[in-house]
Amino acid sequence: MGVLKYPLATEKAIGIVDKRNTITFIVDYRASKTDITKEFQERFGVKVASVRTANMPNNVKKAFIQISEGGRANEIAMRLKLV
């Protein structure tokens, strides 16, 4: 099993897809930002601009993955069937 577990499909997570070119994933609690970046780039073939993480209760970690200018987060969201 990889670092990326599943995409988050809340109203707020879907809203930042277009506004900030960002996809939100639940990731392995032990994953570093470098691990998240590497796996996301390999899986989706786009360049990652930045990764922000938030540790939630019960060992859940959210990763906010911002795509570089050349990539489009909404295309990835459609491939993941979020929108």
Other residues' Cβ atoms within 10 Å of the Cβ of residue 37: 19
pTM here? 0.93
Are the C-beta atoms of 80 and 65 separated by less than 8 Å? Answer: no
Output the six-digit token pair for 70.
Answer: 């050349």
61: β partners: 27, 55
pLDDT of residue 1 exceeding 80: no
Q: What is the domain extent for residue 58? A: 4-79
Beta pairing, strands 48-56 & 60-67: antiparallel
Average pLDDT, the chain: 94
Domain count of the fold of the chain: 1
- The residue type found at 73 is A
For the four alpha carbons of 11, 12, 16 and 22, in that order, the dihedral sign comes to: negative
pLDDT category of residue 70 using cuts at 50, 70 and 90:
confident
- Tell me the CATH number at 14: 3.30.70.330
